[in-house]
Amino acid sequence: MILGVSGWVGNKIGMKESHVRIAFVVAFFLAGLGLGLYLILWIVKLLSK
């Protein structure tokens, strides 16, 4: 995705970036949480530098 969150999260938890992206999309469609979670993790990523 655009902000690099999937790659960052993938590296942190030891998963492939594509699997993390799929998890975000599934979370978005099933519970509506994917977009909010993505934005929160982007903020955490920015603050952790």
What pLDDT was estimated at residue 1? 59
Q: What number is the average pLDDT over the span 19-48?
A: 86
The single-letter code of the amino acid at 40 is I
pLDDT in tens, 1-32: 578 888 888 999 999 999 988 888 888 888 78
Residue 24, Cβ density class (10 Å: 0-12 exposed, 13-18 middle, ≥19 buried): buried
**Domain tally, the chain:** 1
Domain span at 10: 5-47
CA distance linking residue 28 with residue 46, whole number of Å: 22
Per DSSP, which regions of 1-49 are E strands? none
What pLDDT was estimated at residue 33? 79
pTM for the full predicted model: 0.74
